Amino acid sequence: MLKVDKRTARRFLLQKQRLRGNENHSFTSNPTEVLEMIRSLECLQIDPVAVVGQNQHLVLNARIQGYKPEHLTELLGEGKVIEYKANEASVIPMEDYPILEPIRARMRAGLQERIEALGPVVEHVLHRLQKEGPLPSRAFKSDIKVHGYWDNKAPSTKETSHALNLLMDTGDIRVVGRVGTERYFGISELTVPKKILQQTKKLTLEEAKQGLIDKYIKAYRIFDATDPRFGWQRMKAVDRREEIERRVQEGKLVPLEIDEVKRSYFILSEDVPVIQDIAKESSVDTDLAEGPIRFLPPLDSLLWRRERVVDLFDFFYKWEIYIPKEKREFGPYTMPILAGDQLIGRVDPRVDRENNQLVIQIFKLEPHIKKTPKLRKALQVTLEQFAGSLGVEKVIVEKPYKI
């Protein structure tokens, strides 16, 4: 059992999440650096909501100075990353394709009936992609509407679009490129490198399952056994505990006790020296105005486990975009504000492209945060830099909210 205080646990997690200090801001963004960042984080969660920008781009923007979305698009087009399910829909390094087989197998079994129900439509989509190569979603036309994934009442999804989504989930096809928001699809066996496909066939399902659990652990770094997403597989509580305990017995994991936290956590054994070195640092709180200050998107990997955010940062966060407007406490795209090693508040922004401005609908600091002139200035500078990274020139803070 390793014992640390909250500050040490926070700083360790932020370091592994590439959110501590300015070390990532010492270089100019390029595809190589972006790929290195994705490998370090293990994956980036994808979300189509673009009130400010798409989640995957905001995650990278918070970590890499001068990040440009086209760098990620380039990596996808070159086949260096793939889009598939890990922590939900995610951008994942291509070399991890083999260990995703347990998810593909589960999806194939669970979606078989839906695919059979579409019958000829699925065959038509596969035939065209096989014959013509990668095609954009608009290449498939249909006037027939069916119940898609997100249709609550009446069917409103084109049957060809539903077929594409189903085949992508089963792994038969994949996104091979993007032009703006439009996806281009290709047959997986024709677009995944042969070497990767051979590795996939050689790997047993159990080996892939273990590889996926290891990837989850590296992505979370500090994790607990009660997470239902553990290993990014549907595992019963007893199976989660068994996997963790076996790794503890093998010396791969170490139980982590955090002061003033009731929940039991674990870390990789290889991370013990790192967290011990951090524990030796000064226990004095850093000046929040010295930063760095970052705005984190709702699906940033630091925020994946909301319980961990409460335990380590004493910060309660809920994404309110799917909550009825009248029941929201803050706003639809509220982003936590990270300053140094603390989450100090939240900002609810939206990009107004028509007027070329970033509109701040809410800017609220936690009650215990001292709003010093130095901190106010640092926050204003961060807002202006954030607006610049989004390609807009002005920042408008709506009344009655003030920094």
Q: Is residue 209 part of a domain?
A: no
Mean pLDDT of 343-365: 94
Which of the residue ranges 27-36, 152-161, 186-195 has the most confident prediction, judged by mean pLDDT?
Answer: 186-195
Distance CA 17, CA 271 (A): 13
Average pLDDT over residues 378-396: 93
Total domain count for the chain?
A: 2
Give the pLDDT confidence of 233-244 residue by residue, as tens digits.
999 999 999 999
Say what the pLDDT of residue 333 is.
Answer: 93
How would residue 195 be classed by pLDDT, with cut points 50, 70 and 90?
very high
- For the whole model, what pTM was predicted? 0.94
Q: What is the pLDDT of residues 338-353, one digit of tens each?
A: 999 999 999 999 999 9
The C-alpha atoms of residue 318 and residue 307 are separated, in whole angstroms, by: 11
Q: Alpha-carbon distance 65 to 27, whole Å? A: 7
Sign of torsion over alpha carbons 126, 149, 219, 33: positive
Residue 27: predicted pLDDT: 56
Q: Tokens 């609220």, residue? A: 364
**CB-based contacts of 233, cutoff 8 Å, min separation 6:** 102, 103, 106, 209, 212, 213
Q: Which among 191, 207, 231 is the end of a domain? A: 191
pLDDT of the residue at 23? 63
Rounded to 5 degrees, what are φ and ψ at 266?
A: -140, 150
Question: How many Å apart are CA 24 and CA 63, to the nearest integer?
Answer: 6
Tell me: pLDDT of 384 over 60.
Answer: yes
14 located within any domain: no
- pLDDT band (50, 70, 90) for residue 400: low
Chain-centroid distance, C-alpha 8 = 24
Residue 402's pLDDT is 67
Q: Is residue 401 pLDDT above 80, yes or no?
A: no
Among residues 173, 191, 209, which one ends one of the domains? 191
* Residue 37 located in a structural domain: no
CA end-to-end distance (rounded Å), the chain: 43
Q: Please state the length of the chain.
A: 403
Residue 325 counted as domain residue: yes
What b-and-e string marks burial along 79-88, b requiring 16 or more CB atoms within 10 Å of the CB?
Answer: bbbbbbbbbe
Which residues lie closer than 8 Å to 107 by C-beta, 6 or more apart? Answer: 85, 169, 170, 171
Task: Say if 186 falls within a structural domain.
Answer: yes
Sign of CA dihedral 375, 57, 51, 66: positive
Asked which of 191, 226, 256 is the last residue of a domain, the reply is: 191
* Closest to 13 measured CA to CA, from 353, 371, 338, 244: 338
pLDDT tens-digit profile of 125-175? Answer: 999 999 999 999 999 988 888 877 777 777 778 899 999 999 999 999 999
In a domain, 43, yes or no: no
Q: What is the pLDDT of residue 254?
A: 98
Instruction: Kindly state whether residue 133 falls inside one of the protein's structural domains.
Output: yes
Which of 282-295 are b and which e, b meaning 16 or more Cβ less than 10 Å from the residue's Cβ?
eeeeeebbebbbbb
Q: In what order do the strands lie in the sheet with 265-268?
A: 2-4, 253-258, 265-268
> For residue 92, how many other CB atoms are within 10 A of its CB?
24
Q: What would you report as the CA-atom Rg of the chain, rounded to the nearest whole angstrom?
A: 22
* CATH code for the domain in which residue 133 is found: 1.10.10
Containing structural domain, residue 387: 288-397
Query: For residue 160, is it within any domain?
Result: yes
